[in-house]
Chain A
Amino acid sequence: MLVETLREIKRQPIFSKKSLADKLNVSEDMVGNALEQLKRMGYLEEEKPSHCSRNCKFCSFNCSSSSLNTMVITPKGEKLLSSN
């Protein structure tokens, strides 16, 4: 289930919980759980917008920009995908 989720994300990198749920034939809540676990175990990583590190003195830009958070599959995640 976790590996499948990760693989599906790689296949459709811009996804919604619903599109993954439909694909994996589980509920959206389950997809949410899987994403959380994948992040917790370090297979998937959320990219904190780096300009939010508060070291930008000239400006301040919205860092709560929740709708635009991207992720990456970590090397650990890539390894998992290629070994499974």
Chain B
Amino acid sequence: MNTLALVGNPNSGKTTVFNALTGSNQHVGNWPGVTVEKKEGKFKFNGKTYNVVDLPGTYSLGAFSEDEIVARDFILKGNPDVVINVVDATNIERNLYLTTQLLEMKAKVVVALNMIDEAQERNINFDIEALSKELGVPIVPTIASKRKGIDELIKMSIELIDKDIKPNVKISYGEDIDREIKNLERLLNNKNFEYPSQWIAIKLLEGDKYIYELLSNDESLNSSTEFKDTIDRIKDNIDDYELKIVDKRYEFVNNVVKKAVKRPKEDVETKTDKIDKIVTNKWLGIPIFALIMLLVFQLTFAVGEDLLGGLMSEAMGALGEIIKNSLVKTNSPKWLVSFVSEGIIGGVGAVLEFIPLIVVLYMLMGILEDSGYMARAAYVMDNIMRALGLQGKTFISMIVGFGCNVPGIMATRTLDSKKDRMIATLINPFMSCGARIPVYLVFIAAFFPDKGGLVLFLLYFLGILVALLMGKIFSKTLFKGETSYFIMELPPYRLPSFRNVLRNMWDNVSGFLKRAGTTIFAVVTILWILAVLPLGVEPYSKNSILGQIGTFIAPIFKPAGFGTWQAAVGLFAGLAAKEAVIATLGMVYTGVGEGAALISAVQNAFTPLSAISFMVMTLLYTPCAATIATIRKETNSSKWALFAALYTFLVGWIGAVLVYQIGTLLGFS
């Protein structure tokens, strides 16, 4: 019985062709890799029965995967009479790369030019005659899913079985390689391997491990010094040979396509190009980036705070009441009521209230990223970064830092020079991470309720500015040296997928929730204990241990306009995690169970000007413990970690003092 084998790229329609030929019902799927092992079937034509084998889809016939080996072994050892190469007409270059390898095998090939319907829809047209001539094999256009062209394919294949022709197209790999192939062929010729000698020769030059292993078991070959010398010589040049062979195959494909395929003139300017012309423009790029970010923050506020914000804070307030009441009702000890209502609900609750806004912000950021815009932003920033002596890739770690500085700093690993990496690590903490948002929000609600988006935007922007400035200073002083370039593909714009956006959001928000339940909870617990001790003292007062610590630190912050013990304690707690700043304020402004009370307490304790300077301080000062630990780990140096902690504190303090002093001079309060 004669056998036909179906070979082709994943998802090119082999199984559909198989089903059309045999009438059987193999699984057809619209994703690559459905057929894992080969499937066999039969069909009758003119009274004769034929065997059909459906092979797994592969892009190549090397030894790259199990599938490739299964497919090529069947073609070479299974002795099919004809190989039907199912080619996806909408993706012709990639598919023909496989075809060239079938030609190398000297298999009897019929090409089923499948999905011709979709190709037509995309205005891709084929000159079948030219294609057939260039490849030296018969071509049958098919629409397998509609059984179109299948009879023609059967006829053509069966005709070929009896014809004694083999592919006559010769692919030249260049003089050197062609000579080497001839030479190897001569050495292999009378050795009786199951594979054709020429094919083995090509595979040896490509560095195919499987074939090397096969030959290493052949004693007569290995006893030949000529063969050994040849192999040694090849091995010395293997990378070069492999590259040239692959290259020549592509050259061949490219040639065939140029002669036989007509595609609609690719728009000289695609939509992506048009957008890119504007958003990556030398002058407009940065203003547009700034504008987009401003829009993001405005939208975040409009949706996250104005629309949804109230709900969460009411829910937290109500939940707090219920828990407190039930504690009181069950006669729980007074300290427990205080701990739960002031410590946990006042503290952790104050942080959780901002979840809606954070959800919205990270969804919008996710949209920017998934649409492909963020890559453009990185491109635009690359120019500025380089002008400042910084590596463009630094900006990517900075974007990651907007989520959390810990992964931001880990992302600097992709910077290859030590200099670039150190700088990127040291400036990452200035990127405003998600944990700082609750702090801003409380102060915005207290003093700038209708300018929330703008204030947030300015803070983020200030963070970037300070980071760039410090980066410039570092590259001029501490770490000198060349900055290298970075390689990145700008993908075409696309509609963001809901899934990716949701995932991006959840990755950030879940971290936030996790911290609220762990770090923030622990910090609040410790601070609560410090706030009610020593026994007998009025809780949350200046005389508690916490109050005394705060009173001790507070004078440092006097020039910045917030020299109160509560503010000092808040900032101190923020060293553990930035949300703790707000959790602490929520707790120490006693009895605060819900947002509105905290906000009015803040209104009493701060002025608009000192509120701004406090936000600037929160943005810039020493990052949280986890970030410092990461810096230590990544730089492998406690010295640098300590340096990072101290210099950021100094930068934050100077920033806050400048804001307050200049603002006072200008007559703000």
On A, residues with C-beta under 8 Å from B are 1-3, 9, 13-18, 21, 26-30, 32-35, 37, 40-41, 43-44, 47, 49-51, 53, 56, 58-73, 76, 80
Q: Which residues of B contact A40 (CB under 8 A)?
A: 64
B503 at the interface (CB under 8 A from A): yes
The answer to whether B488 and A71 have CB atoms under 8 Å apart is yes
Q: A2-B246, A16-B490, A18-B270 are in contact. Are A60 and B411 (CB under 8 A)?
A: no
Chain B, residues 499-514, CB within 8 Å of chain A (1/0): the string is: 0100110011011000
Q: Which residues of B contact A56 (CB under 8 A)?
A: 406-407, 410
B42 at the interface (CB under 8 A from A): no
25 contacts between A and B (CB under 8 A): A2-B243, A2-B247, A3-B247, A9-B487, A16-B272, A16-B492, A30-B93, A30-B250, A32-B94, A33-B250, A34-B250, A44-B487, A49-B411, A56-B407, A58-B626, A59-B403, A59-B626, A64-B504, A65-B374, A67-B369, A67-B372, A67-B374, A68-B378, A71-B487, A71-B488
B251 at the interface (CB under 8 A from A): yes
The answer to whether B93 and A51 have CB atoms under 8 Å apart is no
Assembly CA distance A13 to B489 (angstroms): 8
In-complex Cβ contact of A64 among B413, B500, B515 (8 A): B500
Task: Given contact pairs A71-B488, A80-B243, enumerate 4 new A-B contacts (beta carbons under 8 Å).
Answer: A65-B369, A69-B489, A70-B488, A72-B416
The answer to whether A69 and B488 have CB atoms under 8 Å apart is yes
Q: Which residues of B contact A2 (CB under 8 A)?
A: 243, 246-247, 250
B357 at the interface (CB under 8 A from A): no
Determine how close the nearest CB of chain B comes to the CB of A55; give it in whole angstroms: 8
A58 to B, closest residue via Cβ: B626
The answer to whether B485 and A13 have CB atoms under 8 Å apart is yes
Interface of chain B, main secondary structure: helix
Determine how close the nearest CB of chain B comes to the CB of A42; give it in whole angstroms: 9
B371 to A, closest residue via Cβ: A67
The answer to whether A67 and B487 have CB atoms under 8 Å apart is no
The answer to whether A61 and B400 have CB atoms under 8 Å apart is yes
Q: Which residues of B contact A80 (CB under 8 A)?
A: 239, 243
Q: Which residues of B contact A41 (CB under 8 A)?
A: 239, 242-243, 246
Q: A33-B97, A68-B378 are in contact. Are A62 and B403 (CB under 8 A)?
A: yes
The answer to whether A61 and B399 have CB atoms under 8 Å apart is no
The answer to whether A73 and B407 have CB atoms under 8 Å apart is no
Assembly CA distance A67 to B92 (angstroms): 26
Assembly CA distance A30 to B243 (angstroms): 16
Q: Which residues of A contact B392 (CB under 8 A)?
A: 14
Interface residue tally on B, bucketed by range: 35 or more
The answer to whether A73 and B507 have CB atoms under 8 Å apart is no
The answer to whether B411 and A58 have CB atoms under 8 Å apart is no
B375 at the interface (CB under 8 A from A): yes
Chain B, residues 437-454, CB within 8 Å of chain A (1/0): the string is: 000000000000000000
Determine how close the nearest CB of chain B comes to the CB of A47; give it in whole angstroms: 5
B266 at the interface (CB under 8 A from A): yes
Assembly CA distance A27 to B91 (angstroms): 11
Assembly CA distance A58 to B266 (angstroms): 47
B182 at the interface (CB under 8 A from A): no
Q: Which residues of A contact B407 (CB under 8 A)?
A: 51, 56, 59-61
Assembly CA distance A9 to B254 (angstroms): 20
B486 at the interface (CB under 8 A from A): yes
The answer to whether B504 and A73 have CB atoms under 8 Å apart is no
Interface of chain A, main secondary structure: mixed
Assembly CA distance A16 to B363 (angstroms): 26
The answer to whether A33 and B511 have CB atoms under 8 Å apart is no
B404 at the interface (CB under 8 A from A): yes
Assembly CA distance A52 to B263 (angstroms): 40
Assembly CA distance A34 to B491 (angstroms): 16
Q: Which residues of A contact B396 (CB under 8 A)?
A: 68, 70
B324 at the interface (CB under 8 A from A): no
Q: Which residues of A contact B500 (CB under 8 A)?
A: 64, 66
The answer to whether A61 and B414 have CB atoms under 8 Å apart is no
A16 to B, closest residue via Cβ: B490
B54 at the interface (CB under 8 A from A): no
In-complex Cβ contact of B488 among A14, A32, A61 (8 A): A14
Interface positions, chain B 352-373, Cβ under 8 Å from A, are 366, 369-373
Q: Which residues of A contact B532 (CB under 8 A)?
A: none
Q: Which residues of A contact B257 (CB under 8 A)?
A: 27, 30
The answer to whether A29 and B411 have CB atoms under 8 Å apart is no
Assembly CA distance A1 to B255 (angstroms): 12
In-complex Cβ contact of A61 among B276, B372, B490, B507 (8 A): B507
In-complex Cβ contact of A62 among B276, B487, B508 (8 A): B508
Assembly CA distance A44 to B247 (angstroms): 15
B396 to A, closest residue via Cβ: A68
The answer to whether B491 and A26 have CB atoms under 8 Å apart is no
The answer to whether B250 and A14 have CB atoms under 8 Å apart is no
Assembly CA distance A30 to B443 (angstroms): 55
Q: Which residues of A contact B565 (CB under 8 A)?
A: none
Q: Which residues of B contact A16 (CB under 8 A)?
A: 272, 276, 489-492
Assembly CA distance A47 to B126 (angstroms): 38
The answer to whether A58 and B404 have CB atoms under 8 Å apart is yes
B435 to A, closest residue via Cβ: A59
B382 at the interface (CB under 8 A from A): yes
Interface positions, chain B 451-485, Cβ under 8 Å from A, are 485
B379 at the interface (CB under 8 A from A): yes
The 3 closest A-B pairs by CB, nearest first: A51-B407, A59-B404, A51-B410
Assembly CA distance A16 to B396 (angstroms): 18
In-complex Cβ contact of A51 among B243, B372, B400 (8 A): B400
Assembly CA distance A3 to B97 (angstroms): 17
Assembly CA distance A42 to B508 (angstroms): 34
Q: Which residues of A contact B504 (CB under 8 A)?
A: 62, 64-65
Determine how close the nearest CB of chain A comes to the CB of B399; give it in whole angstroms: 7
Assembly CA distance A71 to B487 (angstroms): 5
Q: Which residues of A contact B489 (CB under 8 A)?
A: 15-17, 35, 69, 71
